Chains A and B, each alone.
Chain A
Amino acid sequence: MLKMFACAAITCLFSVAMTYAADQAHRVVVYDGVASTVAASADASADLWITMADLKKATGFVVKPQGVCREQLCFPLPKAKKAEFVLKKGSTNWFNLSAFARLVKQPVARDEKNGVWYFGKREDERSTYLASLKAPNFTLPDLAGKTHSLADYRGKKVLLITWASW
């Protein structure tokens, strides 16, 4: 009974979300620092549901039988809770990007007014260098726009100095 009620509540919430989306058709998802406009499906106060096509476009991840995967990386979805992540509505499959962020411990900031969602670094990405003591790599431009990566300087001692104009 409780399960039926929960399912009905989820369906109801989703219907509300779909109605809301008709008024606010799009969201902006910033993922790995890159902004993508996606079709909206949820109320701004609820989780962010996006289509599978938008999931691939905005994040590079796709849902496979073994989990949510990108190249060699794969995060299995908890079987008992799969409905929290994936939902079919009509002919469209939707994915709960907020629930996925919680699963992989990814900090998410959102601005409801402007419909912008920022997905930060997953927990496993945030501290990979600590065990190896390897300096995290980055690629940034100089004033001429030419990009430089820290890895390009391997073989030299590097004094990394941050500063600011402010």
Chain B
Amino acid sequence: MPGWQAFFHPLKDKNFEIISIAQDTGGARDAAEWINAAKPEYTALVDDKHLVTQLYNMVNVPTAVWINEKGEIVRPNEVAYVDNRYKAMHGIDAGPYLEAIRDWVTNGDRSQFVMTEQERKERLTPPSPERAMADSEFALAEYLYKNGMGADAIAHFKEAQRLDPANWNYKRQAWALSNAEKDYGTSFMKEVQKLNGKPYYAPRKLPEGKRP
């Protein structure tokens, strides 16, 4: 998050806002330390029910969406690192993406990085029935966890993971609330290793040869 604050500062008076949203069942208990350390000038919110994950059909963090002045999505969900700390793991270079955002802040809907309506419609797909059911199972599990029934939540977290196996948010959050090895028989690193070279994030496509 300090990286996003450094990125945002020179852009903050350019009719531009970052809204960062922690997807944490533990809410401020888990997210506050990170937010306070960043001292953000942008808007930092806490989503202890993973509402944004559901609303935007997200499966991973960090995920970003570009929204224009009219409230329209102009670039749907995509991986959004602010630096290259984890590049060795996922191979994604943050630099071109940050440059693309700067271009958008300056040029708005005229930016070459704003997707056409057709591109956006192709990328924005309705959640599958399985995903919708996974959302309900996950939300039920969160409710049980928060109301002192954590042991009973595990079966529902597992069901959400079974229904939407590509959803890393639903896996990693559940594992973080538990002893993942004991309760789920796995861990984040083990699951990443199982990918065996397949990309951890959906590939991001910036216009080729048009970089600012």
* In the bound complex, CA of A165 to CA of B1 (Å): 11
Q: Is A35 a contact partner of B143 (Cβ separation < 8 A)?
A: yes
B89 at the interface (CB under 8 A from A): no
Is the beta-carbon distance between A120 and B139 smaller than 8 angstroms?
yes
Q: What mask results when residues 114 to 128 of chain B are scored 1 for a CB within 8 Å of chain A, else 0?
A: 000100110011110
How far does the alpha carbon of A142 sit from the alpha carbon of B152 in the complex, in Å? 30
Chain B residues, Cβ within 8 Å of A134: 71-73
Total interface residues on A, CB under 8 Å, equals 47
Closest approach, in angstroms, between the C-beta of A148 and any C-beta of chain B?
6
Residues of A within 8 A of B149 (CB): 111, 114, 116
- Interface of chain A, helix or strand or loop or mixed? mixed
Q: Which of A19-27, A51-59, A90-98, A155-163 contacts B (4 or more CB under 8 A)?
A: A155-163
Contact in complex: A109, B69 (CB < 8 Å): no
- Count residues on chain B whose CB falls below 8 Å from chain A CBs: 78
Listed from nearest, the 6 A-B pairs whose CB atoms lie closest are: A166-B176, A120-B136, A127-B126, A118-B140, A109-B136, A109-B140
> Could you give 28 example pairs across A and B, Cβ below 8 Å?
A110-B140, A114-B152, A116-B144, A121-B54, A133-B117, A135-B67, A135-B71, A136-B56, A138-B55, A140-B45, A141-B45, A142-B44, A142-B46, A143-B35, A143-B46, A150-B19, A153-B17, A154-B71, A156-B16, A159-B16, A159-B67, A160-B21, A161-B4, A162-B20, A162-B22, A163-B23, A165-B34, A166-B172
